[in-house]
Structure 1
Amino acid sequence: MSVQTCDRICLAPKNPLKGKFGTSIGAHEIFSPETWKAALTELVATASLMFTLTSSIIACLDSHEVDPKLIVPFVVFIIAFLFLIVTVPLSGGHMSPVFTCIAVLKGVVTLSRAVLYVLAQCIGSTIGFYILNCVMDPKLINTYSLGGCAIGGKELNSSINQHDALLLEFSCTFLVLFLGVTLGFDKKMSKNLGLTMVCLVIAGAMALAVFVSITITGRAGYAGVGLNPARCLGAALIHGGSLWNGHWVFWVGPILACLIYYSISINLPKEGLVWVDGEYDILKLALGSCATIHNGDVSDDITIEGSGAGFQEGHV
C-alpha cells in the first residue's frame, strides 16, 4: 500500500452518513460566533419587543377611549415595523418561533440555527415579561393577565372555547404567513420593493390579524390571537394562573399554519402571469371577432386562425 493511498484512507470520514447529516442540519453553525451573535440579537430583540408591545397594548386598553381596541392594530403595526426594519439585516428579524419554523421548512436557515433562535426567543420573552411584571401596577397585571395569551379560565369567564381559539390562531397565523412571508422569502420581489416595503407588508399583515381577532371575533375573556408562541410562553411562566389554560392552542395553531402554508407555498406559481398588454381586453376581443363579419354576411373561408390574426393585426 502506497503512502498516498494510506493518506486518502486515513483522511476519509469514518462515518460519511453522519457527516452528511451534520451538514444538512447545520451542525457546524453551533461553533460559529456569528450564529451566537444572531441568536443573542434574537434574544434581546424579543425581550424588547415583548416589553414594548405588551405595555403599549395594555396602555391602549386601559385608556379612556370609547373603543380602545381599534387603536391596538395601529400600535402593533408601528412597533412591529420598527423592530423588523432594525433586526432583519442582523438576524433575519424572526422574534417568533412561527417565522423560524417556516424559515426552516423553506430552507432559509438550518435546523441548528433554528433551535438556537427558538431558545433565544423563549428566554427573551420571559425576560421581557419579567421586567414588565416588576414595573407594572399590580392592578393592571391582574386585570389584563400581564398582557399574556389568554382564552379564559377560572379567573376569566370566556365565551370562546379552546377549539374556536385554535381555529382562530391557525387562520390568523396563516394570514400573516401568506401575506408577509410569501413576499419576504421571494428574493426577486424583495429586491424590487426594498427592505422598507417588505417590513411594511409584514407589519401590516400582523396588524390585520390582530384587528380581526380582537375586534371582529374577539370575545370576553379572550386576549386575541397570539401569533407568537414564545410570547405566550413567557407571560405564562411569569404570571401563571389562567394563562396556562389552553396554552397548547398557541403552539399547535401556529405550527399547523406553518405546515399547511409550506405545503401550499411549494405549489405557488414561480412566475407571474405574462401577457401582451390588452390581449385579453373584452372589447378588443369582441371587435376582433366582429371584424370578420361584413354586412351580416359570413365568408366561407373564414377560420379561427384568420379571426385571431385579424385581432392581432388590429391590436398592433
Structure 2
Amino acid sequence: MPSMAATGPAEEEGLALPVDDGGGSSGGDHASFLSTFLLYIGAHELFSPQMWKAAMTEFVATALLVFCLTTSIVSCLKSNESDPKLLIPIAVFIILFLFLLVTFPLSGGFLSPIFAFIAALRGVITFTRAAVYILAQCLGSIIAFLLIKDAMSPDVAEKYSLGGCTIHGTGDTPGIGIATALVLEFACTFVVLYVGVTVVLDQKMSERLGLPMVCGMIAGSSAVAVFVSTTITGRAGYGGVGLNPARCLGPAVLRGGRLWEGHWVFWVGPFAACVAYYGFSVNLPTAPLVGAKGDIGILKMAGSCWRWRRRRRLEEKLGQNV
C-alpha cells in the first residue's frame, strides 16, 4: 500500500540537485535557481507517462465517484423516509469506501483536491502532479454532472440544484451565512484529515491496519462530517459541507446561478484546513507513547503517601521513646 511518509520529489526520482559552481554569473545564478525550482515542483513529471496514466485514473474515478454520490444523495432525499438525511452518511460511506479501495493502489486514491494538496504539502507527491490531479478531478466532476444533467428530470434538477453545493437557499429555505459555512468547511475538512490522513502518514500504522481499514477510516470520517454538517445547522437551504471542491465546481459550471454564491467557501475552507493540518502534522510525536514507570497511578500515589505518612509517625514515636 502506498505510504504518505514525507519524501522529497528529487530524492524519489533519484535526481541530483543543481550545484552552484561559484562562477558568480547572474545569468548562471538565475538558470540555477530556475532549474532548482522546476525540479522541486516536479516539472519533469510532465514528461512521465506513469503520471498521466495516474491522472487519467483520477479523472475517471472522480467522475464515477461524483456521479454515484450525487445520484445516491438525491435519491435519499427523494425517498419516502421521514428523515432521509440519516441515509446520506451511509450512502457516502459505502460509495467512498469502495472507490478508495479500488483507486488507492492505482493512483493513490486522492479523488479530491484537498487530498492531492495535502500530499503535495507533505512531499508525498510533487506540486506538478498535484496540480494535474486537481485539474483531472475538476474535469471529471464536470463530465459527471453533464451525465447527471442529461439523466435528471428538470423538476428534480431545479429542486436540488443539480445536486450541487449550496449555501443560500431560495424562498422559504434561507440557508446559512457565509461565515458559518466557511467554519463548517474548515472544521469538517480538518476532522477528515486528522482521522484519515494521520493514519496514512504513519507507515507502520497503515501497514498494520491494512488497506481496507485505512479506506474505512477515511470514508467513515467523511460520512460523519457530512452527517454533522447537514443536521447541526437545521437549515434546509444548506447542502452540507463539500469536502471535495471539484464536486462543487461541476454543477456551478453547468448550472450557475446561486451555485456561484459563496462558491469560494468550498475552496478556501478546505485548503485552509490543509495548511492548518500541515502545520499540525509536522509537529506530531514521532515515537509511540511509552508508559511511565513508577508509582504514578492515583491509587499507587495514595498508597505511597499513606505508607510514607505511617512511616513518619512511627519514626516520631520511636524518637520520643528514646
Tell me which interval the TM-score lies in, with the shorter structure as reference length: 0.7 to 0.9
Instruction: Tell me the residue number matched to 1:234.
Output: 250
Q: Residue 164 of structure 1 aligns with which residue?
A: 180
Instruction: Return the offset for 1:76.
Output: 0.5
Deviates further, 14-23 or 30-39? 14-23
Task: Give the letter for the 1:85 counterpart.
Answer: L
- How far residue 293 of structure 1 moved from its aligned partner, in angstroms, is 4.5
Query: CA offsets per residue over residues 115-153 of structure 1, 9 Å max, x none?
Result: 100000000000011111111122111110111001125
Paired-residue identity, %: 56
Q: Which residue of 2 aligns with 1:221?
A: 237
Q: Which amino acid aligns with 1:24?
A: Y
Alignment of 1:101 onto 2:117 = yes
- Residues 1:179 and 2:204 are matched in the alignment: no
Q: Deviations over 1:206-258 (max 9, x none)?
A: 00100101112241211111001100001111122211111111111111111
Instruction: Report if aligned partners of 2:192, 2:218 keep a CA contact under 8 Å in 1.
Output: yes
Change (3 A) 1:162 1:294: closer
In the alignment, which residue of structure 1 is the partner of 2:284? Answer: 268
Unaligned runs of at least 5 residues, structure 2:
1-20, 22-27, 317-322
2:131 partner letter: V
- Match of residue 35, structure 2, among 19, 22, 36: 19
The reply on whether 1:248 has 2:264 as its aligned counterpart is: yes
Give yes or no for contact 1:292–1:298 (8 Å, CA) kept in 2. Answer: no
Root mean square deviation of aligned Cα: 2.0
Deviations 1:266-296 (A, max 9, x none): 2222223201588533222322333344477
> 1:27-46 CA distances to partner (integer Å, 9 max, x unpaired)?
11111110000000000000
**DSSP 3-state at the match of 2:160:** helix
Residue 170 (structure 1) shift: 1.1
Measure, in 2, the Cα distance between the counterparts of 1:93 and 1:217.
31
SS in 2 for 1:291: helix
Question: 1:72 is matched with which residue?
Answer: 88
Q: Please state how far the C-alpha of 1:298 moved relative to its aligned partner.
A: 4.9
- Listed one character per residue, the Cα deviations across residues 55-87 of structure 1 (whole Å, up to 9, x for unaligned) are 000000000001000110111111111011111
SS of aligned partner of 2:115? helix
Q: Does 1:38 align with 2:54?
A: yes
Between stretches 53-62 and 275-284, larger displacement belongs to: 275-284
CA 1:279–1:83 in 2, change beyond 3 Å: closer, same or farther? farther
One-letter amino acid of the counterpart of residue 219, structure 2: A
Q: Would the alpha carbon gap of residues 239 and 155 (structure 1) be closer, same or farther in structure 2, given more than 3 Å must change? A: farther
How do 1:191-230 residues align onto structure 2 when only pairs under 5 Å count? Answer: 191-230=207-246
Distance 2:175 2:101 in 1: 38
Letter in 2 for 1:65: E
SS in 2 for 1:94: coil
Following TM superposition, by how much is the alpha carbon of 1:106 offset from its aligned partner in structure 2, in angstroms?
Answer: 0.9
- The reply on whether 1:284 has 2:303 as its aligned counterpart is no
Change (3 A) 1:25 1:279: farther
The answer to whether the 8 Å contact 1:156/1:242 transfers is no
Residue correspondences, number: 289
How many angstroms apart in 2 are the aligned matches of 1:28 and 1:279?
58
Secondary structure at the counterpart of residue 226 of structure 1? coil
Which of residues 126, 131, 143 in structure 1 aligns to 2:159? 143
**Is 2:128 the counterpart of 1:122?**
no
